[in-house]
Structure 1
Amino acid sequence: MHLWFQSALTEKGWQDGVRLTIEGGQIIALDAGVAAAPGDARHGIGLPGQPNLHSHAFQRGMAGLAEVRGESRDSFWSWRQVMYRFLDRLTPDDVEAIAALAYAEMLEAGFTRVGEFHYLHHDRDGAAYADIGELSARIAAAAEATGIALTLLPVFYAHAGFGGLPPTEGQRRFVNSLDQFAVLLERARTSIANLPAANIGVAPHSLRAVTADELMEVVQLAPEGPLHIHVAEQVKEVEDSVAFSGKRPVEWLMQAMAEKGTPVDRRWCLIHATHMTDAETMALAASGATAGLCPLTEANLGDGIFPADRFAGAGGYYGVGTDSNILIDVPGELAMLEYSQRLALRSRNVMAAGANRSTGRSLFDAARRGGARALGVAVGELAVGQSADIVALDASAFADGQRTDGYVDGWIFASRRPIVDSVWRHGRQVVQAGRHLSRDAIEARYKATLAKVLAE
């Protein structure tokens, strides 16, 4: 297969007249400055795919359902009760149908890999399915059906709060003993075994959901894979951590892991990490861990603003995720990250990587690097020997004078319509003319599922 691009962001930077030869899912030849050959598929602007480092796929089904104010001021904690009521209704078929739509929309948006932070494990009464990995298998099935690359992150969840508080009724579908979780993790490994480029890690849910001893044991279950954890998302979480341990969450995690001889390092991704002191921010940046930022969800939930300017300035790695999947949008996540910094600092072009550097390109490249790092894979590039994970933008969306990094700036900050035209994942075209090739069937199944779930 041969793809020709008017202009493409390759490993060597922007090049015009780029012809890619793809075989076995990989780019085996790249020629620049050439005309399209007869039979080549011609496209506009070529970019490498973006990783989505944090998703709760089932929450795509409740997008827009938590936007009604309650009796008192709403917060993350009141939203969480809406989420618990929604997931109480979901069967395995429902989870698969919702995940498939979320993954199709991710590909349509320009994400080519997803990190699925998967904590919905059990039946509606809290009992394990006959196959304890039933719902992990449904996530894998949705990834296979859509073609997205999957980093599966089974979640260990045991408690309702710091100090090992018993789980609540709303958390019954998440909870496992350490022995159960070890079995579940092995079953999850088999679920992804035949998925191209899939890998697996583990995710202790949060410091409030695991004890210190449990955290250490769970980390040992993934000696090579990625390690993800929610941390310091909410002010209340920070206050509860200080009340329990005398330390803030990021501070506690960094110290505790170092004392055990397994320091927080490049394998770790700290999701949100919103509320940190300057000392915590600098320590996290120095650790080599990735900050997993979910700007649209964090704004929707009223979480707060991550100190991205200071963190990136200290050399910290970050990537973006769609988290609750209220809106699945590569430029939306990156623009919200930049705009949150502008609002907090009353400045512009905050996340640009230096003077005279494009803000959009800086965000796009940093999120690719950090996202790949967090998901335990190599950074995707348009280069020989790389997997053909490619996003094509519609060139007609840009003015004639809008070139090179201006394409990315225009996509992130000035798109008036979706401009992703085509997407390939490991050489397989999954999006054409802006739509996933299986969207009609996936969307019909999703709509039937939601009609049933919301009628209960």
Structure 2
Amino acid sequence: MIFAKHAKLSTGWASDVRLIVADGRIASVEKNQKPQAEDVIVDTVLPALGNLHSHSFQRAMAGMTEYRMAGKDSFWTWRDLMYRFTANLTPEHVEAIAAFVFLEMQEAGYASVGEFHYLHHQPGGTPYDDLGELSSRIAAAADLTGIGLTHLPVLYTYGGAGQSPLEAGQARFGNSVDRFNELVALAEGAVAQLPDDCRVGIAPHSLRATSPDDLMAALAARTSGPIHLHIAEQPKEVEDIHAWLGARPVEWLLANTAVNEDWCLIHATHMTEIETVNMAKSGVVAGLCPVTEANLGDGPFNGPAYLNAGGVFGVGSDSNVLISLTEELRTLEYSQRLRDIARNVMVVGEGSVGDTLYSGAAKGGAQALGRGTGEISVGGLADLVAINSAAPSLCALRQDQLLDGLVFAAKDDVVTDVWSAGRQAVQSGRHVKRDAITAAYRSAMKSLMASL
């Protein structure tokens, strides 16, 4: 049971709210109550966001790619460095890094994560004796931390548009469709050992790393569940796909696949106006990763046109160079302001930008991760975050300004408690297993750095 002085319910703000949680779901919402002896008492409770896009292993290289080399640095030069880094990761490293990353996400206020997992094999590309070894390590990290996991094994078959061969740095990622389907089945077995809210989807990496035939074959093997795909992140990608398939990436995908509410298209940064509108109307979730997109120089998403067309969006931490829920949301809005030389851009008509960003990302993230939540209502998963509205960054604000303050004025240290499907992992601002998980991460990093 949770007692909150204030709560952002699906019906609006309420005070003195008791939430009864049973089997991971909200069984009852009672307003104007008094706390009971057994209640966890918090200040303000909100629906917790899902982090819809993460490559957890990349957290370990944060800060290592910020030195300008000769010539012009870009996403593609960053990618080459990332490939070299992955060559030294062991299964033990992968698990320890993922656990620490998931802990950081929970302390930042995320209750769940979509792990877009493409590191599958040994260095050089030879499969482990257990093809699903590294997926099992991700599941183990989720089990340790208690985060709600949507595991997304990645189909990565080619090195670039036009079915070019895998590069040496991509060898650990590669699978045929048949072997990928085996991998998915093994991942499902590992995730089945986790709580019922955890699940497996699939992630054809991108149009450039698959082919039309392979993409269709992978989709045909799945009858339901989340489908995530990188798309239109960089101008070069758009040009290469257009030259190969005769259409821009988003244009081609919408015309050739049955994109629907199960899909999450990651980045979709470089779209025409008509692509933006058609993507919004398809019901797909736009998976936006503003901090990473800024760090890699991807460019800003076409936010106003997408929102005006009714588009659904969520946010993810992608490369995990910085894990901050508040920073993702404010960077999304600030990227639009810088481009348009305007203020308060990401809202349709009049209203609170902070509420639009936070509530929109809560619902979109839940949709993308297949969690059926995103708001506080009876029957929904108990994915909840508590914040301290008495914190200096928030204490002067009215209740209807609180989400604006959270998004634009606060840091993640206002988060006090987090529940993932009712499992409380964060108490008083700290993950309950922080010390052990952090020690394991430090040990893994010491081992990893010695091998580089």
User: TM-score category by the smaller chain?
Assistant: over 0.9
What displacement does 1:401 show?
Answer: 4.5
Q: Tell me which of 330, 334, 342 is aligned to 1:339.
A: 334
Q: Distance in 2 between matches of 1:199 and 1:412?
A: 29
1:125 match: 124
Q: What amino acid does structure 2 have at the position aligned with 1:158?
A: T
Match runs of 1:424-435 below 5 Å: 424-435=419-430
2:376 match: 382
Secondary structure of the residue that 2:390 maps to in structure 1? helix
1:367 match: 361
User: For residues 82-104 of structure 1, what are the alpha-carbon distances to aligned partners after superposition, in whole Å with 9 as ceiling and x for unaligned?
Assistant: 11111110000100000000101
Match runs of 1:107-146 below 5 Å: 107-146=106-145
**Percent of residue pairs bearing the same amino acid type:** 50
1:84 match: 83
Is this contact kept in 1: 2:109–2:412, CA < 8 A?
no
Match runs of 1:60-209 below 5 Å: 60-196=59-195, 197-209=197-209
Secondary structure of the residue that 1:14 maps to in structure 2? strand
1:55 match: 54
Is this contact kept in 2: 1:360–1:405, CA < 8 A?
no
Q: What amino acid does structure 1 have at the position aligned with 2:41?
A: R
What displacement does 1:33 show?
Answer: 1.6
Is this contact kept in 2: 1:125–1:172, CA < 8 A?
yes
What displacement does 1:9 show?
Answer: 0.6
Greater mean alpha carbon deviation, residues 368-377 or residues 94-103: 368-377
What displacement does 1:131 show?
Answer: 0.4
Greater mean alpha carbon deviation, residues 152-161 or residues 242-251: 242-251
Is this contact kept in 2: 1:351–1:363, CA < 8 A?
yes
Q: Distance in 2 between matches of 1:193 and 1:38?
A: 35
Q: Distance in 1 between matches of 2:154 and 2:301?
A: 24
Which consecutive aligned stretches of 4+ in structure 1 deviate over 6 angstroms post-superposition?
none
Match runs of 1:200-239 below 5 Å: 200-239=200-239
What displacement does 1:287 show?
Answer: 1.0
1:455 match: 450
1:36 match: 35
What displacement does 1:417 show?
Answer: 6.1
1:442 match: 437
CA gap of 1:212–1:108, structure 2 versus 1, over 3 A, is same
1:240 match: 240
Q: Tell me which of 269, 277, 283 is aligned to 2:272.
A: 277
Is this contact kept in 2: 1:353–1:359, CA < 8 A?
no
Q: Distance in 1 between matches of 2:215 and 2:408?
A: 40
CA gap of 1:439–1:162, structure 2 versus 1, over 3 A, is same
Q: Distance in 1 between matches of 2:256 and 2:23?
A: 45
Is this contact kept in 1: 2:25–2:379, CA < 8 A?
yes
Greater mean alpha carbon deviation, residues 38-47 or residues 193-202: 38-47
Q: Distance in 2 between matches of 1:37 and 1:266?
A: 40
Secondary structure of the residue that 1:214 maps to in structure 2? helix
What displacement does 1:228 show?
Answer: 1.0
Match runs of 1:279-318 below 5 Å: 279-318=274-313
CA gap of 1:102–1:37, structure 2 versus 1, over 3 A, is same
Secondary structure of the residue that 2:413 maps to in structure 1? coil
Secondary structure of the residue that 1:59 maps to in structure 2? helix
Secondary structure of the residue that 2:137 maps to in structure 1? helix
Q: Does 1:391 align with 2:388?
A: no
Figure out how many residues of one structure are paired with residues of the other and give that number. 449
CA gap of 1:255–1:397, structure 2 versus 1, over 3 A, is same
User: For residues 133-188 of structure 1, what are the alpha-carbon distances to aligned partners after superposition, in whole Å with 9 as ceiling and x for unaligned?
Assistant: 00000000001100011111110001111111010000000001122111111101
Q: Distance in 1 between matches of 2:25 and 2:176?
A: 41
User: For residues 172-214 of structure 1, what are the alpha-carbon distances to aligned partners after superposition, in whole Å with 9 as ceiling and x for unaligned?
Assistant: 0000112211111110110101211111111111111111100
Q: Distance in 1 between matches of 2:400 and 2:61?
A: 36
Q: Which stretches in structure 2 are left out of the alignment for 5+ residues?
A: none
Q: Distance in 2 between matches of 1:64 and 1:385?
A: 42
What displacement does 1:105 show?
Answer: 0.7
Greater mean alpha carbon deviation, residues 366-375 or residues 83-92: 366-375
Q: What amino acid does structure 2 have at the position aligned with 1:422?
A: D
Q: Which stretches in structure 1 are left out of the alignment for 5+ residues?
A: 258-262
What displacement does 1:396 show?
Answer: 2.0
Q: Distance in 2 between matches of 1:279 and 1:52?
A: 28
Structure 1 vs Structure 2 CA RMSD:
1.4
Q: What amino acid does structure 2 have at the position aligned with 1:229?
A: L
What displacement does 1:54 show?
Answer: 0.6
Is this contact kept in 1: 2:388–2:416, CA < 8 A?
yes
What displacement does 1:264 show?
Answer: 1.4
